[in-house]
Every structure is written in C-alpha cells, then in structure tokens.
A and B are shown apart, each in its own frame.
Chain A
Amino acid sequence: AQSVTQPDIHITVSEGASLELRCNYSYGATPYLFWYVQSPGQGLQLLLKYFSGDTLVQGIKGFEAEFKRSQSSFNLRKPSVHWSDAAEYFCAVGFFGNEKLTFGTGTRLTIIP
C-alpha cells in the first residue's frame, strides 16, 4: 500500500545534541518530499523540500535532509538542536500535477537541558 511512515512517535534529545528524524515512503514512483514543523499552537511551517537533483537539501533553521532512493527514505537532520526546536515534525509526499500532500503520522521532539 502507498504510504509515508515516520517510525518514531516521540524522540527526546539533549540540547546541543544531534538529531535525525526518519521518514520512509512506499510509492511506485519517487514522490516530491517535504518536511514540515508544527510548533505548539501554530500552523505548519515548511522546513525543506526535495523535488529532484542534489539528494542533500538544506532548509531553514539549520535543518537538512537526505534523499536515499535505495532506502526510500528522506531523513531530517540537525547537527545541534536548540530548545526552540521542540515541536512536532511531519514528513509529507506529493506528486507532480497533483497539489495534494499526504502526511506521515508525525514525530514529537522533546529537548531536555
């Protein structure tokens, strides 16, 4: 079945530590890939996107993500997290010609001092 999966429901990391959030997809074709962040009480903000080309994409707030076709993955990374990064992170997929997005179940990130 076609799906986008975020295996980690909740992750806790220490401030200053590195972060990796996982996203896997299961589609016949390579979709467009996105990471959004939702801070408490806020709407969703786009962190970064991948359409084609360079498989390592840079986003806002110091985030990056790497597309790995062989693993059907698009993992989000940050070398050093800040307390303000505590939020819910959603991976999403879309396809050319269809502007709807399908979202993963989300990963809640908690930052501890």
Chain B
Amino acid sequence: SAVISQKPSRDICQRGTSLTIQCQVDSQVTMMFWYRQQPGQSLTLIATANQGSEATYESGFVIDKFPISRPNLTFSTLTVSNMSPEDSSIYLCSVSDSSGANVLTFGAGSRLTVL
C-alpha cells in the first residue's frame, strides 16, 4: 500500500486566515482525494484531484474556499481559506490503493482548530 504523509498533523488557526495542508505519497498515483471529518462526524469528500487538471469538487464545496493543487503524481495541497470556527475539522488525504479498485489508503489527517 502507498504511504501518505500529511503536514501539518495539527494546527490552531485564527479566524480569517488560510492554511495549506500538504499531502505527499511515496508512489505515483492518478487520483488523490481530500476528505473532511467534522468533530464527531463521518467523512465527507471535498474534491478529487487529478494531476494536470483542475480538481473536481463535490456539492457544497467550492474552489474559492478549498483551492487544491496537484503539481505532480505524488503531491497535492489543500488550502482552507478565510477560515471560521466551522472549518475546525480533520482533513484527510487519500489515494487509490494499488491492491484494488475503490480501495483507499488514508493519511493520518490534519486536525485544524479555528479560534
């Protein structure tokens, strides 16, 4: 399975600021997925990031709020812009696992707290 490193692992941010989360994979992958897990909630897909094209956002998520970069096949970033306390969540990067279709491998997540 791919190994995913996310940075930062946690951060405390001020309202109105932006934070960029990095996701590094130890192998080349076609698609990378960004999920949000709000406190006590399940995972919700934010967007799918393919290298060389714009990310595809799910309903309720917009590029201005969650811009994503995918400069190569092993790296992606998610920015949470103009943060409010409602953005306090764990943000998880995931990739399709080489062991089979639809099997996702997840990073450990980035826990953001917005004050």
Q: Which residues of A contact B105 (CB under 8 A)?
A: 46
Q: Which of B31, B92, B109 is the one whose CB lies under 8 Å from A99?
A: B31
Residues of chain B contacted by A106 (CB below 8 angstroms): 41-42
With A90-B42, A99-B96, A105-B41 already in contact, the answer to whether A43 and B108 are too (CB < 8 A) is yes
Number of A-B contacts (CB under 8 A): 57
| Chain A at the B interface: SS class | strand
Q: How far is the CA of A42 from the CA of B94 in the complex (A)?
A: 13
Residues of B within 8 A of A44 (CB): 43, 92, 94, 104, 106
Q: A43-B92, A43-B109 are in contact. Are A103 and B103 (CB under 8 A)?
A: no
B101 and A96 within 8 A (CB)? yes
Interface residues of B in 39-88 (CB under 8 A from A): 41-45, 48
Residue ranges of A at the interface with B (Cβ–Cβ < 8 Å): 32, 34, 36, 41-46, 49, 51, 90, 94-96, 98-106
